[in-house]
Chain A
Amino acid sequence: MTKIANLTQAEMEGLELEFVEAIKAGFPSPAADHAGERIDIVSELSPHPDTTFYARVNGDSMRDAGLFDRDIIVIDKSIEPHNGDFIVAAIDGEFTIKEFRHDPEHHCGWLIPHNPEFQPIKVTADNNFSVWGVVTHSIHKTRRY
């Protein structure tokens, strides 16, 4: 006959119990066959992680488009910029974030702010201009604390 005895405190010292995964008890979970990956917001925000960079907005010129001062923006460098995209541009040695508009009629481009207090910037062949990356998302903290 198998005996079951309580262990004393002394006997318990140094005794390590291993956790055995395979023991089943009770009913199997009805959700086990439907297990999904938990949502990973980072992979949603950056489908191309190798070419995705983050930056912080410094200023209000894009305020009316929902890009606020101190927001974090997601920039994908691999995307070809299209008319109307928000871009990070390097113009004459400085980064700026604006809406990009192509103006084939006047052979130039425009960097358009979204705030009536700011003027659009005309981009011509005389400028040292390049598109650094296309802004795909902005992350705005809504809680004040």
Chain B
Amino acid sequence: MYAIADCNNFYVSCERVFRPDLWNKPVLVLSGNDGCVVSRSNEAKALGIKMGVPLYQIKDLVEQHHITCFSSNFALYGDLSARVMSILRSHTMRFEQYSIDEGFISVDHIPPAERKPYCEQIVRQIYQGTGIPISMGIAPSKTLCKVASKYAKKYPGYRGACMIDTEQKRLTALEHFDIADVWGIGRSAQAKLSAAGITTALQFAGQSESFARTLLHKPGVLTWRELNGIDSIDITEAVAKQSITTSRTFAKALTELPELEQQLANFTDSCARKLRMQHSVCAEALVYAITSPFRSDIQQYRVVQKVTLPMPTSDTRELLSNILAAFRPLYKQGVQFKKAGVIFTRILSGNAVMPDLFDTRDRARDSALQRAIDNIRDKHGRQAVILGTQLQLPSQAADPVFKAEHHSPLYTTDVSQIISINAG
């Protein structure tokens, strides 16, 4: 049996640890570069604010309800994440971190009847010790753990930990679970399942294995098995398999090459940062830019170009120069690009890379530079050091919405920014 520990609204929860004035208030955390919502407090969710929505689209709502917005403060989130994960690790050697706010532990060493109270105690311990609220899901497979943790999050009656340990509980849990919310079911899989009339997790789990294989191939079979209680997913592999993507729909379509290059540089920067955080490298990427499909009055055009890196890398400059070199020849003047993005499609573990005899780059030097840049940015914010391509162009008027003006202090990583406690 596994248990997942999943931090509730993680980035928002991190910001709130040091702001008692914001407990029970609507709070949002925005992505660093493009001002999209990346984390919402329950109060903000209740106001109908959706994940990923750009700030400019909800400006009125934010003002009307006095919603507090923060720019991403990754130094803070990284430190609090490390604390949560360290406490989890202290419970068992069999621990695997899945993302910045999720980790799995094995609960095989705990007698079955004590597993739920044990996890409830971990929930209390982590909340008391770090201020971060978490939910736990206990089940025989990791996908079922995720399902259970969603129930734990939704219903306070579970006291933070929900366990799927009987066939009856599994069937009931899956019956009321939207297939789109199942771990590993992406948008295209969901579309295929929906076309086949499948909308709940139980309907999918109730199909034959060969149905899952025909419709969704190997990843679908893994999810199908996991939903049926068969432990099938290796986390270390699953983490390495993920693709990383950053894209944006522009409020006003872009036509000039420097504007597009600036955006692609921001996207690459953001993807590369995530890549380095998980100690991976990218071997292949996809760059795209498209016109609005809803405009029949303009010339439709799309660029979708695969980029193969000469050497797998996580270096922002190297990734960007390859991505721009692939994009430039396909750029067409006069085209109104409405959306663009960068996807790292082939991600490898950082230490699995063979050095190439004909490699001309000084990699030790590159990675030392990259580390130095990352350190400066952790300390002084993401705008402290940027690539020339990311510089704001003279034609662009400063848009106050997109400034990282809501950055909270580095409460735990810079002694000059620790909280000040009133003794008055």
Mark A residues whose CB is within 8 Å of B. Answer: 48, 50-51, 53-62, 67, 69, 72-73, 77-78, 88, 90, 93-98, 113, 118, 128, 132
Asked if B83 contacts A95 (CB within 8 A), the reply is: no
A90 engages B418 (CB within 8 Å)? no
**Would you call B131 an interface residue if the criterion is a C-beta within 8 Å of the partner chain's C-beta atoms?**
yes
What is the number of residues of chain B that contact chain A, defined by CB distance less than 8 Å?
22
B-side contacts of A51, CB under 8 Å: 83, 87, 128-130
Contact A56 B21 (CB under 8 A): no
Report whether A55 and B421 are in contact in the complex, using a CB–CB cutoff of 8 Å.
yes
- Measured CB to CB, the residues of B under 8 A from A are 20-21, 23, 83, 86-87, 90, 125, 128-131, 411-412, 415, 418-424
Identify 10 new A-B residue pairs, CB closer than 8 A, beyond the known A51-B83, A60-B423: A54-B415, A54-B418, A55-B419, A60-B424, A77-B128, A77-B130, A97-B422, A97-B423, A128-B23, A132-B131
A90 to chain B: which residues have CB within 8 Å? 20, 23
By a CB distance below 8 angstroms, the chain B residues around A54 are 415, 418
B422 and A95 form a contact (CB under 8 A): yes
Q: Determine the chain A residues whose CB is within 8 A of the CB of B23 once the complex forms.
A: 90, 93, 128
Q: Are the C-beta atoms of A96 and B423 separated by less than 8 Å?
A: yes
Rounded to whole Å, the gap between the CB of B79 and the closest CB of chain A is 10
A96, B422: Cβ atoms closer than 8 Å: yes
Name the distance in Å between B422's Cβ and chain A's nearest Cβ. Answer: 5
Q: Is the CB of B87 within 8 A of A55?
A: no
* Cβ of B66 to closest chain A Cβ, rounded Å: 14
Give A47 Cβ to nearest chain B Cβ, in Å: 13
Q: Measured between C-beta atoms, what is the minimum distance from B224 to chain A in Å? A: 38
Nearest CB in chain A: distance from B129 CB, A: 4
Q: A77-B131, A94-B20 are in contact. Are A55 and B420 (CB under 8 A)?
A: yes
Please determine whether B418 and A50 come into contact, CB atoms closer than 8 angstroms: no
CA of A96 to CA of B420, assembled, Å: 9
B3 to chain A, nearest CB (A): 19
CB distance from B149 to the nearest CB of A (A): 22
Q: In this complex, what residue of A is CB-closest to B86?
A: A50
Closest to B83 in A: A50
Query: In the docked arrangement, what's the CA distance between A118 and B120, Å?
Result: 40
Contacts of A118 in B (CB 8 A): 424
- Closest chain B CB from A91 CB (angstroms): 8
B419 and A95 within 8 A (CB): yes
Tell me if B423 and A57 are in contact (CB < 8 A): yes
Complexed CA–CA distance, A71 and B23 (Å): 27
Bound Cα distance from A118 to B412, whole angstroms = 30
Contact present for B128 and A88 (CB under 8 Å)? no
In the assembly, what is the distance between CA of A98 and CA of B228, in Å?
54
Q: Which 5 A-B pairs have the closest CB atoms?
A: A59-B423, A51-B129, A59-B424, A90-B20, A93-B21
